[in-house]
Amino acid sequence: MSTPKSTEQTGWVGWIVFAGIMMMVGGALWMIIGFIAVFNDDWVVLGQEAALFLDISGWGWVHVILGALAILSGFLVMKGSMFGRIVAVLLATGSLIVNFLWLPVYPIWSIVIIAIDVLVLYAVIVHGRELKDV
Which string of DSSP letters, residue by residue, matches 59-86? HHHHHHHHHHHHHHHHHHHHHT-HHHHH
Q: What angle do CA 113, 66, 18 make, to 5 degrees?
A: 45
Distance CA 71, CA 29 (A): 10
Q: Is the pLDDT of residue 43 over 70?
A: no
Domains of the chain, by residue range, sit at 13-42+56-133
Q: Is the pLDDT of residue 116 over 80?
A: yes
Tally of CB atoms within 10 A around 80: 18
> How confident is residue 99, by pLDDT bands cut at 50, 70 and 90?
confident
| Predicted model pTM | 0.77
Of 4 and 83, which is predicted with more confidence?
83
Per cent of the chain over pLDDT 90 is 31
Q: If you average pLDDT over every residue of the chain, what do you get?
A: 82
Q: Looking at residue 106, what is its pLDDT?
A: 80
